[in-house]
Structure 1
Amino acid sequence: MIYMGDLLPSGRINFLLIILLKLFVSFANAEESKKLIAFDYAIADTLSALHQPPIAMAGLAQYRRFYRDPLLPEARELGNRFQPNLEYLAALEPDAILISPPAHLNLENKLSRIANVRPIRLLWKGQKVWESLENMTRELGDLSDNQQRAKELINDVEVALAVMAEQIKRTGEPLFVAQIIDDRHLRLYGSGSLEDMVLTRLGLENAWQGPTNDWGFSTLTISEAFQLEGRFILLNPAYSQYLTDSALPTSGLWQHWLDDLPISIEVNYWSWGGFPSALRFAEALVDALDEAGDSAPAPRR
């Protein structure tokens, strides 16, 4: 049993460091690692936490744009996720190729000529995000012969979120989790998203209760965003190929809208990732709320 006690902020940090060290410990002493190829970041991220990182990944360069630390430094790049270098992939002689349906299904026949293709579902129909991530983690644990580590990973993340929930500085009102995607549109994360799952686990309320797509977000125009009332958590950088990693729109209505935003998070996770991404988002959110404290501006009206 892990004693949580009345951890001070420094205690919370030390506790999380222990968990992260367990997640990303060296694999050098592993008896024999399977040679796995991943076509999705949630799969790759979870495999790394299970001490079985993929030897190569499709779309790796794109994912690295949204990550602040070295991502899978030992993994090889296979090119575009939907147009991988099949000759190079075959030369790696993988034991299995892991895809995430419905994406990549059009590649399944070609990939199956190289190695066994294993579809790994990320979102299970009729299940909540937490349950879906549990299923994915256990499935990858079975695939990589790391069933015990899969159980430990699920427990570690659950305990870490419980610790943070006890210590978080609550704003006393629901929160919007928002991301600017271009000069005219805003993305809000709601039901079915990793962000919404983390808010719930931390005992916070998601202010966005509108309908969401299959990926757990809604897209609003700038005029619709101006009509929302409440406190915003702004994810930075924006999820857009048209904006740089270090800048948000600096002209037009967005700039005025940004003046009233109290809390901003530097994104260091993948919104459609696994439990490691959920933990990184939770930690960033808790730190942002701690820093904002009582000095945060009033919610916009």
Structure 2
Amino acid sequence: MFTRRNLLVASAFAALTPSVARAAGRTVATIDWGHLETCLALGIVPAAATELRQFREIAVEPSPPREVADLGLRGAPNIELLRMIAPDLVLISDFYEYQRPLLERISPVVNLPVYQSGKPPYALAEQSMAAIGALLGREAQAQAYMAAARAEIEAIGQRLGQLARHPVFVISLGDSRHFRAFGADSMFGDVVVRLGLENAWTDPTSYSATAPVGLEALARIPGASIAVIGPTPPETRRTLAENALWNALPAVAEGRAGDLAPINHFGALPSALRFARALDRVFGSRADAG
């Protein structure tokens, strides 16, 4: 969490190293993907981040420049490489708090939470963006981005008004028989509500999504639409086309199911916008058609 200790670290960082703010994120490392996309959205290029190849495939945008060093796994970053880079600041989230003792041997660490069990994350993502902007001299850019994101989501919600006739399941598919549903404490679930829509998945979730459940659970609300977040494994997509249960779901049979592009499941505001735009592309014309 963003504690008083973190605030003191942030203040000291800003006061003692003003050149860091002028240099944007050149001496910042990010462990969390949400903070990586937030930095990039504000024009801050981190010196190092984690799992960049996977980030480019799953989060897609903003795409990290090639000069960003890849620290390897989010759960076990390359400490020796990080020590060689010696960033002035390391950004983490609650997911990586256990890494603090190792990371603090190298650089000051600031924990900016976005995902907390049972809490819609959009407001936390805004707080994290504002904090990163304050830390790195991008306050104006952060405020402008947040205002533009809220306005665009509101506009997309107005275009998707007809979709509000149906609750919407937001899911990901690992295989052709099971799915993960994104609930109220996911970014996708939060954005669904902000768009004026109803999330069809009302069961409790913890940190964004359910454990995999059987496809038959999608039949519990026959009138619901289904938004499938990519990436979907090619083999799953192929076998799904032959799956009698999937094709019998009313949303599939009646054309109320759609495939969305890959999106970071634990992203921040850029992922929220990417999701809203993806829903608009897939369902907007259908909503217009009534």
TM-score by length of 1: 0.77
Identify the match of residue 276 of structure 1 among 224, 246, 270. Answer: 270
2:91, 2:109 within 8 Å by CA — same for their partners in 1? yes
**Post-superposition shift, 1:155?**
0.6
**Post-superposition shift, 1:180?**
1.6
2:168, 2:199 within 8 Å by CA — same for their partners in 1? yes
**Post-superposition shift, 1:70?**
6.9
1:237, 1:244 within 8 Å by CA — same for their partners in 2? no
SS of residue matched to 1:234: strand
**Post-superposition shift, 1:248?**
5.0
1:66, 1:268 within 8 Å by CA — same for their partners in 2? yes
- 2:200 is the counterpart of 1:207: yes
Equivalence for 2:138: 146
Equivalence for 1:55: 47
Equivalence for 1:100: 93
Cα distance in 2 for partners of 1:181, 1:235 equals: 11
Equivalence for 2:237: 247
Between the two proteins, what is the percent identity of the paired residues?
25
Counting only pairs closer than 5 Å after superposition, residues 166-181 of structure 1 correspond to structure 2 as 166-171=158-163, 172-181=165-174
- 2:24 is the counterpart of 1:33: yes
Identify the match of residue 112 of structure 2 among 106, 110, 120. Answer: 120
Cα distance in 1 for partners of 2:204, 2:262 equals: 26
Deviation beyond 4 Å, 4+ runs, structure 1: 124-127, 251-255, 293-296
Query: May I ask how many residue pairs the two structures share in their alignment?
Result: 263
CA offsets per residue over residues 42-61 of structure 1, 9 Å max, x none?
A: 10111111211322111222
Q: What is the Cα-based RMSD across aligned positions, in Å?
A: 2.7
AA of the residue aligned to 1:106: Y
1:181, 1:238 within 8 Å by CA — same for their partners in 2? no
Higher helix share: 2
Identify the match of residue 263 of structure 1 among 242, 245, 257. Answer: 257
**Post-superposition shift, 1:276?**
1.0
SS of residue matched to 1:170: helix
Identify the match of residue 290 of structure 1 among 261, 284, 287. Answer: 284
AA of the residue aligned to 2:259: I
Counting only pairs closer than 5 Å after superposition, residues 176-195 of structure 1 correspond to structure 2 as 176-195=169-188
Q: 1:127 to 1:148 in 2, by over 3 A?
A: farther
Identify the match of residue 57 of structure 2 among 65, 80, 84. Answer: 65
**Post-superposition shift, 1:236?**
4.5
Q: 1:137 to 1:245 in 2, by over 3 A?
A: farther
AA of the residue aligned to 1:277: S
AA of the residue aligned to 1:39: I
Q: 1:69 to 1:146 in 2, by over 3 A?
A: closer
AA of the residue aligned to 2:79: L
Cα distance in 2 for partners of 1:211, 1:198 equals: 17
Cα distance in 2 for partners of 1:208, 1:158 equals: 24
AA of the residue aligned to 1:154: M
Equivalence for 1:111: 103
TM-score by length of 2: 0.79
